Amino acid sequence: MIRFENVTKAYPRSARPALDDISLEIVRGQFVFVVGPSGSGKSTMLRLVIREEPTSSGSVLVAGNDLGLLPPRKVPRLRRQIGTVFQDFRLLPNKNVTQNVAFALQVLGRPNRVIKTLVPETLELVGLQGKGRRMPHELSGGEQQRVAIARAVVNKPAILLADEPTGNLDPATSLDIVRLLASINKQYGTTVVMATHDNVIVDELQRRVIELENGVVVRDEEQGTYVPRAESPVAHPAPGHEHPADLWTNPDADWAEEHVRGED
Amino acid sequence: MRLRFLLGDVWVGLRRNLSMAISVVLVTMISLFLLGLGLLAQRQADVMKGYWYDRVQVSIFLCTATSRTPCTGPVTEDQKQNVRSQLEQLRPLVKEVFFESEQEAFDRFREQFKDSPILGNIKVGEIPSSYRVQLSDPSKYEVVASTFENAPGVSSVQDQKQVLERLFTILNKFTRYAVALAVLMVLCAVLLMATTIRQAAFSRRREIGIMRLVGASNMAIRLPFIAETLIAALVGAGLALGLLFAAMRALVGDNSRNVVLRQVAIGTTDIWHIAPILGGMAFALAIITSTITLWRYLRV
């Protein structure tokens, strides 16, 4: 469904590339977490999938399209197969819940009768039945994110990208949101790629985990957890730190010595 | 994109950006009004040429007792006959010849200036008699002029066309000024439209972001902006036509029922003739400006 082949993405005014020679494949119907610290390249990866930006080198293939060869006028067609959800929800503040979800169909020119059946259906799917007339500011954060998810999936996309969708939510609500994504993944076979910082969620769901660091895939495991299971620095050395002894001090080490090291 | 959704979007956009929309309407109105004035002045010149060029006469004024040089005294019967026969020789360039006697000239003068105090000082014999010559080709006036200027008994040769030419020059100048101003105002209109679109795009950046994200086509994203600009421009064109009608009424009055005036002056029907030009102009301005602006500021 999504394939990265030796993808490098460098921004003009940045010393190191945001993504550095990444190759990976996400198959149809998979649920994938992309984890890693801020600036590790998670968002860049998602932006490349919706062809928000071109790659610097290498190719990204999405739903059978080589995005590097995709003419600009065909980009909208690609994006219709992809739903996207963000940390900041991005709802239209002057439209109510129903209108926000319907907007995604209206701008695609879908007929009214289709919109009238799809929107309530989708609101029910995300657990917002009966709240169609609420305005975004009248909703809790979790509810707002549900609206955003409804808008992302109302057109039944093959892929759902979520860029830190729980970043603004409390832990319990976050879990509800991810469970919703998981149920969409299960119910419709939608490929879900979720970038996150949330270790609880990742550990709870036990799905494929791709860990990025400095634009490089440092870990890719089926049914992974947020931090490597075998919690050992030797197992997954960060690039440039192949000698973990440099990084990790002996627990018995003298505090004074540690202090001196810090002043280097 | 469904029409109702598009229209709703356009309506919201115009309302949200009302002051900008109004300014686009007004600037378009003024620029097209000026352009319309220029076009009408040109039509007026054409109408006058068409009417008068068939009728212009060359007047050969004969000497009176009070005429100055080159006259040496009132024209004699022989001199009159001479002029007459020479005119006959110039056929077919000379199409028709009328003779206006001093009495007739005086009567015509009295008729023309019947309300003027100047009339009291004029006596029969002071207004010269003349041959009124109609030419088959009005542009060959020189032939007649050179033949009769300084001929015995002739005081002067006058071409009505020269009087008309002066009028045409004025009309042409007016046209040029109006069109030059119109071009400046059109430039203002274009810049204002571009600024308006940029502002509208900025105030709707959230919507545009969502539209791009869900895969709305370029056309679907741009159409509301183009439609808004188009509506504002066409309203401006409509108002410009209204202004032209008002100006026409004020200047010429309603001449649709006046048979003579209708032949020499343009009227409200001429505004209908230039309406498609102004409408087309507004249409083209709006479409071209918005397309270029959106192409520059709304990359998808």
Mutate to test the interface with B, among A92, A106, A122, A154 (most CBs of B within 10 A): A106
* Contact (Cβ atoms closer than 8 angstroms) between residue A6 and residue A57: yes
Opening angle at CA A174, ends A171 and A178, nearest 5 = 140
Q: What is the pLDDT of residue B75?
A: 76
Residues B132, B137: Cα–Cα separation, whole Å: 15
Cβ neighbors of A35 (< 8 A, separation 6 or more) are: A42, A195, A196, A197, A202, A209, A210, A211, A212, A226
| Span B84-100, pLDDT tens digits | 888 888 777 777 888 88
Q: Give me the total of CB pairs closer than 8 Å, taking one residue from chain A and one from chain B.
A: 60
Rounded to two decimals, the pTM is 0.71
Structure tokens at B191: 């810049």
Instruction: Give A90's contacts in chain B (Cβ within 8 Å).
Output: 206, 209-210, 213
Band of pLDDT at residue B255, cut at 50, 70 and 90: low
Q: What is the pLDDT of residue B57?
A: 78
Band of pLDDT at residue B144, cut at 50, 70 and 90: confident
Query: Hey, are the CB atoms on B2 and A72 less than 8 Å from each other?
Result: no
Nearest to B248 by CA among B222, B281, B270, B275: B270
Nearest to A193 by CA among A173, A207, A176: A207
Residue B191 has pLDDT above 90, yes or no: yes
Is A103 at the interface with chain B, CB within 8 A?
yes
Tell me phi and psi for residue B94, to 5 degrees: -80, 115
| Span A168-192, pLDDT tens digits | 999 999 999 999 999 999 999 999 9
For residue B114, give the DSSP letter: T
Instruction: Give B218's contacts in chain A (Cβ within 8 Å).
Output: 73, 76
Structure tokens at A181: 């994504």
Tell me phi and psi for residue A176, to 5 degrees: -60, -45
Residue B143 has pLDDT above 90, yes or no: no
- Dihedral of CA atoms B175, B179, B180, B181 in degrees, nearest 10, equals 110
Kindly report each contact of residues B67-76 with a partner whose C-beta sits within 8 Å and lies 24 or more positions away, as own/partner: B67/B128, B67/B155, B68/B155, B70/B150, B70/B154, B70/B155, B71/B153, B71/B155, B75/B129, B75/B153, B75/B154, B76/B153
Q: Which residue has the higher pLDDT, B230 or B65?
A: B230
Q: What is the pLDDT of residue A41?
A: 92
* Contact (Cβ atoms closer than 8 angstroms) between residue A49 and residue A159: yes
Query: Hey, are the CB atoms on A108 and B214 less than 8 Å from each other?
Result: yes
- List the single residue in A76, A78, A106 with the smallest CB-CB distance to B2: A106
Q: Which residues pair with A221 in a beta bridge?
A: A209
Q: What is the pLDDT of residue A214?
A: 92
| Span B224-234, pLDDT tens digits | 899 999 999 99
Residue B29 has pLDDT above 60, yes or no: yes
* Contact (Cβ atoms closer than 8 angstroms) between residue B294 and residue B286: no
Q: What is the largest CA-CA distance in chain B?
A: 99
> CA nearest B209 in A: which residue?
A90
> What is the residue type of A107?
V
> What is the residue type of B226?
I
ipTM: 0.80
Query: Hey, are the CB atoms on B214 and A92 less than 8 Å from each other?
Result: no
| Span B124-142, pLDDT tens digits | 777 788 888 887 777 777 7
Q: What is the pLDDT of residue B252?
A: 72
| Span B236-252, pLDDT tens digits | 999 999 999 998 888 77
For residue B95, give the DSSP letter: E
Instruction: Please report, for residues A38, A105, B68, B248, the alpha-carbon distance to residue B251 in angstroms, rounded to integers and kept in the order given.
Output: 74, 55, 41, 5
> CA nearest A160 in B: which residue?
B214
- Write the burial class of residue A22 (CB in 10 Å: 0-12 exposed, 13-18 middle, 19+ buried): buried
Band of pLDDT at residue B74, cut at 50, 70 and 90: confident
Most confident of B83-87, B205-209, B258-262: B205-209
> CA nearest B5 in A: which residue?
A106
Q: What is the pLDDT of residue A230?
A: 60
> CA nearest A148 in B: which residue?
B210
| Span B105-119, pLDDT tens digits | 888 777 777 666 666
Q: Is the peptide bond before B92 cis (omega within 30 degrees of 0)?
A: yes
> CA nearest B206 in A: which residue?
A92
Nearest to B132 by CA among B45, B207, B61: B61
Q: What is the pLDDT of residue A247?
A: 45
Pairing of strands B57-62, B130-135: antiparallel
Q: Which residues pair with A66 in a beta bridge?
A: A61
Structure tokens at B88: 């006959």
Q: How far is A256 from chain B (nearest CA, A)?
A: 54
Is A112 at the interface with chain B, CB within 8 A?
yes
Beta strands in chain B (DSSP E): 57-62, 94-100, 130-135, 154-159
Q: How far is A17 from chain B (nearest CA, A)?
A: 24
Instruction: Give B1's contacts in chain A (Cβ within 8 Å).
Output: 106-107, 109
Q: Which residue has the higher pLDDT, A2 or B299?
A: A2
Q: How far is A153 from chain B (nearest CA, A)?
A: 10
Residues B288, A7: Cα–Cα separation, whole Å: 39
Q: How far is B228 from chain A (nearest CA, A)?
A: 17
Q: Which residue has the higher pLDDT, B173 or A138?
A: A138
- The residue ranges of chain A whose pLDDT is under 70 are 229-264
Q: What is the pLDDT of residue B153?
A: 78
Residue B82 has pLDDT above 50, yes or no: yes
Instruction: Give A108's contacts in chain B (Cβ within 8 Å).
Output: 214-216, 220
Q: What is the pLDDT of residue B263?
A: 66
